[in-house]
Amino acid sequence: GQSLEQPSEVTAVEGAIVQINCTYQTSGFYGLSWYQQHDGGAPTFLSYNALDGLEETGRFSSFLSRSDSYGYLLLQELQMKDSASYFCAVRGLSATNKLIFGTGTLLAVQP
Amino acid sequence: KAGVTQTPRYLIKTRGQQVTLSCSPISGHRSVSWYQQTPGQGLQFLFEYFSETQRNKGNFPGRFSGRQFSNSRSEMNVSTLELGDSALYLCASSSTGDTGELFFGEGSRLTVL
């Protein structure tokens, strides 16, 4: 089976940097994605790592290490609007858009 | 470009009833997948349709079914509703690109009484 574990909650202050980790157990996958979901809203795509290493998109960066079964999302210059739930997700090896989502991390940004 | 549209946004049903939820994907997207989101279980994959064919199915009972039409619009149906079916049902569409990027709708929030 496949499982992805994340910390349930993270708290940080405005302007700070926060890292949300995702550790997984899976036999194989195409890549690791990250999604943001505000309370009551639709999940929105943030980033995708097909290969090991760091991907940077503005204030957000994502990292993947397949050898360590580990990835993380790094959020810099935190803003109040970044308060949301964050999910990592893996896409299986077959031709499919089936995503297995992590347990989710609720990020609270404080002033 | 219009986003993914789901209807209805909210609905209340009673145990034993059935419900049909609708999803209109982004124009040009041929893949539509459905997810159930609950506080206890998180986001769980239900099924995916591509060009009117079910391409993958999650671990849900047969009461959960779906279909996709020739215009890529999709519906999912839940029969013989149970209290535990109360959840946010999310639809996502995607092109065939290999980026792991899904575009989600706002969801249909189902409450079963």
Residue to test with chain B: of A97, A98, A105, most B Cβ within 10 A: A97
- pLDDT of B97 over the 80 cut: no
- pLDDT of A93 over the 90 cut: no
Question: How far is the CA of B80 from the CAs of B10, B15, B18, B57, B112, in angstroms?
Answer: 18, 7, 6, 19, 11
Chain A hits for B102, Cβ within 8 Å = 43, 45, 97, 99
Q: What percent of chain A has pLDDT over 90?
A: 74
Which is more confident, A23 or B1?
A23
* Per-residue model confidence (pLDDT) at position A40: 81
Q: Summarize pLDDT for B25-47 with one digit per residue, the tens.
A: 999 999 999 999 998 888 999 99
* Per-residue model confidence (pLDDT) at position A36: 97
Which letter does DSSP use for residue B37 in this model? Answer: E
Chain B hits for A94, Cβ within 8 Å = 56
Chain B hits for A87, Cβ within 8 Å = 42-43
Q: What percent of chain A has pLDDT over 70?
A: 95
* Per-residue model confidence (pLDDT) at position A33: 93
Q: Which residue of A has its CA nearest to B3?
A: A42
* Per-residue model confidence (pLDDT) at position A59: 95
Nearest CA to B102 out of A2, A51, A87 is that of A87
* Per-residue model confidence (pLDDT) at position B80: 97
- pLDDT of A1 over the 70 cut: no
- pLDDT of B66 over the 90 cut: yes
**SS3 of A42-108:** CCEEEEEECCCEEEEECCEEEEEECCCCEEEEEECCCCHHHCEEEEEEEECCCCCCCEEECCCEEEE
Nearest CA to A57 out of A36, A79, A75 is that of A75
- pLDDT of B98 over the 70 cut: no
